[in-house]
Structure 1
Amino acid sequence: MGLGSCGRGDRPADADDSPDAAALAQAAAPDFASPTMAAIKRRGRLNCGVHEGLVGFAYTDNRGEWRGFDADFCRALAAAVLGNANAVRFVPLTNSQRFEALRSGRVDVLWRSTSWTLTREAREGVRFAGVNYYDGQGFLVRRSLDLATAAELNGARVCVQRASTSELNVADWFRARGLEYTPVVAANEEAARVAYGRERCDALSADISALAAARTTMSNPDQHAILPDVISKEPLGPVVKRDDEVWTSIVRWTLNALILAEELGVTSENAGQLARESRNPTIRRLLGVEGEVGPMLGLRKDWAKTAIEAEGNYGEIFARNVGKDSPLDLARGLNAQWNARPAGLIYALPIR
């Protein structure tokens, strides 16, 4: 009697443990649907917000084609969701335009060297889907000033972009050290670079990647140096509109698929062969050979394979646009894989 009263004896009399009831409960789970994804499919293209022109990240070549680190991630995302890397409309946006463009639906995703901060998520009505570049703010100076560190900028004129994290970081950095400086505030990044080039300031402060890009555009790049000081943490990544968690997940996992592909040695050249021949279950899941990873996101089974074949894995995108195979020649540094030597911060979430 005592044993019989335990467990099932405490359940409601009308409880139903039949297979049909279990299937019905499972079917009642929220549908993995996205208004943003539905709009993209209707128009047949991804609208991707990018920088107006930043060498290495987003710029147009002499044929008017968009190139760069961020542009390649836009194409990879289009390949993942539409099966066509060229189904992208690039929308150049200024700092002041970028978040409103997301909120209004003018763009589906912002891949525009944007730092992930608490204030932006809390106030701008957006969500960050991940980090694809770990940056930091620094200072570009003329070698003729013979400066070794940023601490020697006491009393200097510093060019910086208005209404940016860069402007706030410079103010905090000088204030914390009791140093004086004169801000030369420009309307946008290009105006700040022009002001520096015309010697209206002694230093240009921005993300180090942007400073490296700015230096390549100068008439005598070797006459300018980036000081070793890094005055902030700037995690850059894709941004989407708030209240579409499904679309946030699709962008997040596409980024992670490209990162994981590098870790596993899956490239644009060998993805097809590995899909046919690899016995590694992690690779097989990534490439859609087994499992239902893509369909769980509302995508095709080979969504990640299509993205990788279109633009390459994370390492290929980095090297081609900002790394060793590019004019910027930036070291991987923090953007190396977690298991590299030396190790970086790039780490793919488990795709399983």
Structure 2
Amino acid sequence: MNTAPPDTSAPTVLVERRGRLGVVTLNRPRAINALDLAMVRIAQAALDGWAADDSVSTVLVTGAGDRGLCAGGDLQGMYRSARDGTDESVEFWREEYRLDHAIATYPKPVVALMDGIVLGGGVGVSAHASHRVVTERTSVGMPETRIGFVPDVGGPWLLSRAPGELGTHLALTASNADGSDTIALGMADVLVPSERLPELETALETEAPDDVLARLSVAPPASALLARRAWVDEAYAGDDVLAIVARLRNSDVDEARAAADEIEARSPTAVTMTLAALRRAASLPDLRAALDQDLAVSTHLLGVPDMAEGIRAQVIDKDRSPRWDPATLADVDPSPWAHLLT
């Protein structure tokens, strides 16, 4: 997630045709291509236009610059909505989730280049694609509990389907995954070295994605996250956040105890809701239902103090000292939102 001001001298999304390839390039490199409503609408219009265009056989989603595909959504807008009680963010989320679903259900192959930083909303426009490419520079994360928010854009749907409890660990701690980890989580398909990306893009102008990726991808290194699965699965079992933290705290694994520290530093409300959202998403019938859940949860959080406070601490004042309300996991009362996740 990023809040740098847009570069108003250039379009924030570039839409172009290259041979039989339709290319959507998020074009706010100074902001690591963070999404706003106008960008979502441009990308959606491009997809709508190419869906029935027989001259376009594949769509590519990529980001400008060398820092990453997309650092998420516009936190400034979320802060204004939470502070002022407006529905500015609700409109953004509704259309953002529509775009995510369009990518997931697109009638043609969609290749997403998950190079560099891919956070929050960046996951939404990439991890639902049919062909998901990571590189040695990839860093994927759902950092929402850091700002009093809950993973959205279908994140709970994806993370709840990761092997064992690896997705739960990533979501509650707001950790990042490298390229190998992202493949292990089931959120990406292949690793292509970043130096081969220009060749990949050129090849997609005339060739089918399966053929291109088979030729240019390499075997990913072993996933460090997957190697932790034994203690992760044991610690993160069940629906009780307090029990999870206690198991992590009492573990003889240093990383587990560090994970307990991470979780207890996050918004207690957001952590509790995130676990509930993951558990319910695991039983939902499809991504559409999961995105509907995300919209309900996101909208509810606009009226919860922690979201405005978390963005204030991380983005506005940057003191990195949020004052969560309630302050501890034990004090969280789920009754105001339990109906959203049952």
TM class, shorter-length: under 0.3
Q: Which has the higher strand share?
A: 1
Q: Which of the pair has the greater relative contact order for Cα pairs under 8 Å at 6+ separation?
A: 1
**TM-score of the superposed pair, with normalisation by structure 2:** 0.24
